[in-house]
Amino acid sequence: MDEQLEVKVARTHPDAKLPTRGSEYAAGWDLYALEEVEVPFRQSVKLRTGLHVAIPIGYEGQVRARSSLGSKGLILPHSIGTIDADYRGELFVLMTWLGEGDSYTVRAGERIAQILISPIPNVSFRVVDFDDLGQTERGEGGFGSTGRF
């Protein structure tokens, strides 16, 4: 395994839980709700973690839903949240309730999402003519163009 990457984390509330891994080879670290919060049906609520992080330069933090909550109907409305290397505010997890019932109660200390730390390549964009992009079999086929099965 490669050298371990250090991510500095500060707890700004005594009840804040540090991220944990569910298994030895889990890709993400679980994030925990700081407080009990009611998430009303079809509404988005920012859930506190009580944590601040310093993502190393050249990396990003990706906040993703936990599949167990998604299967019940508690989802991240924006699919994946990005934490930039220069952000130092509290980590929040935006959640929306789409399941059965009028709301979902997130309990203090509940695992609500996971964070993955991913490298960001140094990229530059160069303007070219459309024809210089090259041809592919797919071409300009967009949404659903590769078929369902």
In a domain, 60, yes or no: yes
d(CA 145, CA 139) in angstroms, rounded, equals: 10
Domain that holds residue 46: 8-120
In a domain, 141, yes or no: no
Type of residue numbered 74:
L
Query: What pTM does this model have?
Result: 0.86
Strands 29-32 and 59-65 come out as unpaired
pLDDT of residue 46: 96
Type of residue numbered 41:
F
Query: Which tokens belong to 52?
Result: 């601040």
In a domain, 137, yes or no: no
In a domain, 125, yes or no: no
In a domain, 138, yes or no: no
| Domain harbouring 113, CATH code | 2.70.40.10
In a domain, 50, yes or no: yes
In a domain, 23, yes or no: yes
pLDDT (tens place) for every residue of the chain, 149 residues total? 568 999 999 999 999 999 999 999 999 999 999 999 999 999 999 999 999 999 999 999 999 988 888 888 898 888 889 999 999 999 999 999 999 999 999 999 999 999 999 999 999 999 999 999 999 887 787 777 777 67
In a domain, 126, yes or no: no
60 CB-near residues (< 8 Å, 6+ apart): 82, 83, 84, 85, 117, 118, 120
77 CB-near residues (< 8 Å, 6+ apart): 44, 94, 95, 96
Q: How many domains does the chain have?
A: 1
